[in-house]
Amino acid sequence: MRRSTTSGPVLGLLATALLASTGQLATSAQAAELVWARYGDLDSLDPHRATSTLSMQVWDQIYDTLLAFDADGQPQPHLAKSWEISEDGLTYTLALEDGVVCHDGSPFDANDVKFTIDRAFDEAQPSLTRTAWGPIESVEVVDTLTVKVSMSSKFGAFLPFLADSFSSIVCDTNTADTFGSSTAIGAGPFKLVEWVKGDAVTLEKNPDYRNFGKPVENMGPPHLDRLVIKTVPEPQTRLAALQTGEVHVAEPPFDDIAAIREAGELEIVVADNTGQNVFWEFAISRPPFDDIRARQAVAYGTDPEMAIDIIYGGLSQREWCPIARGVFGNDQEFCEQFGYEYDPEKAVELLAELGYGPDNPLETTMFVWTGGNRHKLAEIFQAQLAQVGINAAIEIMDIGTMNARVKEQNELVDDPSPGTFDMMTWSWYDPDILYALWHSPGAYSGFTTPELDAMLELTRTTIEPEARLAAVQDVIQYLMENAVHVGLYTPGWEWVFAVRPEVSGFKVGAFLHPMFNDVEVKE
Amino acid sequence: MLRYIAQRLAAAAVTIWVATVAVTLLIHAVPGDPVRIMYAKFQSTPEQLEAVRTSLGLDQPIHVQYAMYLGRLVEGDLGRTIVGDQPVLDVLLARFPATLTLAVASLAIAILVGMPLGFLAAYKRGTWVDIGAMLVAIVGVSMPHFWLGLLLLFFFALQLGWLPVAGSGIANLVLPALTLGLANAAVLARLTRSAMIDIFDQDFVRTAQAKGLPKTVVLYRHALRAGLVPIVSMLGLQFAYLMGGAIVVENVFAWNGVGRLAIEAVFARDYPLIQGFILFFASIVVIVSVIIDVLYAFLDPRIRYG
């Protein structure tokens, strides 16, 4: 399936007209209010009931976390000022900051941490990301500012998880049935005023807010009085709203970023260290990709550097590792040793060994997910592969469907059709994503071996950083040498923000967390 | 008359019944495992997926699934959304007033612009007025809502700064209502023109003219009243068309109605919500059609006895 883009040139013309038409940008009506327009709405105000980035970005404003990622993506003390790990690595004792209050005025303490974790593990309705918390057995309130978390086995990804929005601390006063749909009490920089589903979330400043570890300059309450997070699905409408001043921050239309930059009136902020990684992944249950040489031929036969340069310009970078930049264990030099530099001749050789040649090309299908001009990227890869003797049809689908189809492909062992490969993507803050993807039975029922299982288990149960790094790198080497998970580029999809000139202090933290603590809007 | 209404209601019930069958089958038209696709973005264990499959009845034979669905429907239960875990009916009803407001405002614009334009074109048939009016109508009919919306946005919001770009306030209603209304005005203008041309050629109009009645009386009392009958019947279809157009226009202007909700549901693969939307939408269209049919029968007695 090829997606047509007949509206592209027309929209481009309109966008150019939009940009050219407004020499002077309108000014904001209310200095202390900022409107941020996004393409979609959050799914739930309850951090245990959703997994989308759009939801996480709102939770970031309402809730706080025990740890916080610094600009490089490393977890730092935040609401937990310090912690001790028992010698057996099974117990974490966290000391909390004093004087923090929840939005309803109740003190933030160890009971809120216990409430949050117990709720995530509630048998009747566990958190959708329960497994990411690790093998937690119990949570004990030692005193009001000390909490002890006990694990059944060691879990190396626990501390990074405590800096992620999925571990947002929900105050224990969130007992109303409306929690998640119309109420939410946290200790974050903004309080919930109202959520009109599909339309906007209105937040107001939390005057009692204290920042301990977030990578922003402001250690107190936000400068903004109100933050309105509005849903505007159509990119051209978002751009028009930015132009009129109705909106201050928004994702612009992808194809218009160059024109916006050239016009020079809106600032373009490109999210860095997003945790997103795009990679080749193969249905290994049947030919042709049950043979490592076919997988390697795809890797050698495609040139991601050239492809992303053409399609994304400076918005994406070549990624050698199976985990994204900013994630613990990502080391470009290390990964490059085991990577597949573009080598079409090598690809042809490998295909010849498998019996493929000019008269007998390898037939397969490439799955790609919609959006972000990836269909164009796929066409470049398709052309490159055709040159080495791989006929790859392209199928474009939404990411959810692709996830399900990839799993299904791996499970079609005896199917006579050739196995597929896909441009897959994941976003995560820790190399533990590799465990989720490749430990038996595997997120996609794909490549697994007992050897890899053991190596992945070691990445989980090793806590000491140097030893864990070695364990993670062993897994990276194994996955790359077996051409199972071949890194392509990062970030994986469009997280570019256009910001109006009267706005200052807007930052996007590691792993796609826009931060408004420093933001000011000039009159 | 009662028999006629009963016939229309029976036909409406059959149409809605077909819609219930269609929405039950819809979930099985998805390539692959629908539960896995629906829950693809969640870190769900096989046990959790199985529990979902059981709760949706997808582990049952299709006729049992349909019976379960009908049973729930009778109780007003359209299921719960995958995203946010809310009752589907509540979610639809919360967003419906916005779409209804938009549809009514658009219909008003369509009537106020389209009918006079069509009437004028018919009255001035063959002149430049007629050609000009129909040219405008053809452009209006041909132009996609999406494109017209962006053009209106460009001129009225961006260039002139008269109206806001996106949102769900009163001022925000103007642009989406104009977009939908003008596109439908074009359709209505063409319909009105052809209906009025037919009427102008009728004997009773010629007779009225021959009797020496004033032109305004002939036009407004005799011709227009008679011409209204087919136009009113088309308004029902127009309303359904407006509801469909709302899906696109609501998205362009971030108008928070059920049309946008449908798009959100499709992107989120929220099947219970998609099913609910289709059934809800089909029911609205059917109900409006019945009302229009009945109204039509009142306007034209030949229909109820025909």
pTM: 0.82
Contact A237 B165 (CB under 8 A): yes
Q: What is each CA distance from A510 to A30, A68, A315, B290, in whole angstroms?
A: 29, 10, 16, 57
Per-residue confidence (pLDDT) for residue B32, from 0 to 100:
61
Give the pLDDT confidence of B152-174 residue by residue, as tens digits: 988 898 888 888 888 877 888 99
> Does residue B94 belong to the interface with chain A, where contact is any CB pair within 8 Å?
yes
Query: What's the CATH class of domain B96-268?
Result: mainly alpha
Give the pLDDT confidence of B240-289 residue by residue, as tens digits: 777 777 888 898 898 989 988 988 888 777 888 888 898 888 888 888 88
Contact B37 A21 (CB under 8 A): no
Contacts of A398 in chain B (CB under 8 A): 267, 269
Per-residue confidence (pLDDT) for residue B36, from 0 to 100:
67
Per-residue confidence (pLDDT) for residue A78, from 0 to 100:
97
Contact A236 B253 (CB under 8 A): no
CATH level 3 topology of A276-491: Dipeptide-binding Protein; domain 3 (3.10.105)
Give the pLDDT confidence of B34-84 residue by residue, as tens digits: 676 666 555 566 666 777 777 777 777 778 878 888 888 888 888 888 777
> Does residue B91 belong to the interface with chain A, where contact is any CB pair within 8 Å?
yes
Nearest to B41 among A22, A181, A400 (CB): A400
CA distance B53 to B57: 6
Please state which CATH number belongs to domain A67-167.
Answer: 3.90.76.10
Separation in Å, CA of A285 to nearest CA in chain B: 17
What ranges in A412-449 are assigned the alpha helix state H? 432-438
ipTM exceeding cut-off 0.85 for this assembly: no
Residue B134 pLDDT grade (very low, low, confident, very high; cuts 50, 70, 90) = confident
Q: Give the domain ranges of chain A.
A: 8-39+189-271+494-521, 67-167, 276-491
- The set of long-range contacts for B126-133, using a CB threshold of 8 Å and a minimum separation of 24, is B130/B193, B133/B189, B133/B193
CATH level 3 topology of A8-39+189-271+494-521: D-Maltodextrin-Binding Protein; domain 2 (3.40.190)
Length of chain B equals 306
Q: Give the domain ranges of chain B.
A: 96-268
Contacts of B168 in chain A (CB under 8 A): 196, 199
* Average pLDDT, 10 consecutive residues per value, chain A (523 residues): 37 46 42 89 89 89 96 92 94 96 96 96 84 92 96 92 95 91 95 93 96 95 96 92 94 88 90 87 93 97 94 87 90 95 96 94 94 90 96 88 84 89 89 90 88 95 92 96 93 81 93 92 84
Judged by CB atoms within 8 Å, which residues 243-262 of B form the interface with A?
251-254, 256, 260-261
DSSP-derived secondary structure for A459-522: HHH--SHHHHHHHHHHHHHHHHHTTSSEEEEES-S--EEEE-TTEE--EEETTTEEE-TT-EE-
Separation in Å, CA of B166 to nearest CA in chain A: 7
Is A415 within 8 Å of A323 (Cβ atoms)? no
DSSP-derived secondary structure for B36-86: HHHTTTS---HHHHHHHHHHTTTTS-HHHHHHHHHHHHHTT---B-SSS--
Q: Residue B251 — φ and ψ, nearest 5°?
A: -70, -40
